[in-house]
Structure 1
Amino acid sequence: MSNKSLRILIADEQHFHRLRIERWFNQLGYYGVAPVQSLEELLILVEYASEPFDLLVVDAALADGKLDLLDLCLDNRQLDHVLIYNGAQAGLSPIPACEKQGVQVSHASLPDLASIQRLMAVVDPRLPFVGTVISVR
């Protein structure tokens, strides 16, 4: 059973991408999802959040060279876990999931349902479907 109290933040300029990722989280039982479309919105939410976000899923292109997204994520106590996707766009090297760092960098242009499931196995280890892929219709 998924932890319904998890706070998930999705940051991508593309409305369709935010909706698709949010729908995958919803299919897995996560509904505490906040989508944002700009770097400014992301920084405001992270800066002024009363509680840390359990997970940030962010398109590396969102930073567009304005700030070092990886450093922001590694040094921020308001972000427990982070998936930066489209990392090649920002020149980031892939970093596999690591519990100690809490930051994963992927070169995929958009995470798919299977990668979200693997990520959630680290973020929410109480999941019953670890290792099982749910089909999308």
Structure 2
Amino acid sequence: MSNKSLRILIADEQHFNRLRVERWFNQLGYYRVAPVQDLEELLSLVEYGCQPFDLLVINAALPGGKLDLLDFCLDNRQLDRVLIYDGQQAQLPPIPPCEQQKVQVSHASLPDLLSIQRLMAIIDRQRPFVGTVISVR
């Protein structure tokens, strides 16, 4: 059973990408999902939020050079874990081994359901990953 209190933030300029990722979280039982479409929305929610987010799922291209995404994610106490996708396009520097538990970088253009399941099995320890995949239509 998923921990319904987990707070998840999805940041991507493309509405379709945000919607697809949010639906995958919903299929896995996570409903406290906040999708944002630009850097200003992201910064507002993270900086002025009263509770930290358990997970930020962000397209590496979203900051558009206005923010050092890796430093922002590593140094921000309002973000417990981060998945940066499309990381190859953003040419992110290597993540120090001690920080790899907080920030993961995927070269995929969009995370798929299986990668989200695996990540949530780590984040939500009450819900072990059993290897089943929910079909996506």
Distance in 2 between the 1:11 and 1:83 partners? Answer: 10
Matched AA of 2:103: V
The one-character-per-residue Cα deviations of 1:22-64 (angstroms, maximum 9, x if unpaired) are: 0000000000000000011101110000000000000000011
Match of 1:133 in 2: 133
Q: Who is 2:39 aligned against? A: 39
Aligned-pair CA distance for 1:136: 2.2
CA contact (8 A) 2:85 2:111 kept: yes
Q: Give the deviation of 1:129 after TM superposition.
A: 3.8
* Structure 2 residue aligned with 1:124: 124
- The equivalent of 2:81 in structure 1 is 81
Measured at CA, do residues 113 and 94 of structure 1 come closer, stay the same or move farther in structure 2, by a change above 3 Å?
A: farther
CA RMSD of aligned residues (A): 1.9
Distance between the aligned counterparts of 2:94 and 2:2, measured in 1? 27
Please list every run of 5 or more consecutive structure 1 residues that lacks an aligned counterpart in the other structure. Answer: none
Runs of 4+ in 1 over 6 A off after TM superposition: none
TM-score normalized with structure 2 length: 0.92
Amino acid at match of 1:120: M
Give the letter for the 2:80 counterpart: D
1:8–1:33 Cα contact (<8 Å) kept: yes
Deviations 1:91-132 (A, max 9, x none): 02576xx88641101110000000000110111011144433
Question: Which residue is equivalent to 1:19?
Answer: 19
| Kept after mapping to 1: 8 A contact 2:74/2:99 | no
Residue matched to 1:6: 6
Give the paired residue count: 136
Matches for 1:43-54 after TM superposition, within 5 Å = 43-54=43-54
Q: Residue in 1 aligned with 2:72?
A: 72
Share of identical aligned residues, percent? 81
1:73–1:82 CA contact under 8 A, matched in 2: yes
CA–CA separation in structure 2 for the residues paired with 1:12 and 1:30: 18
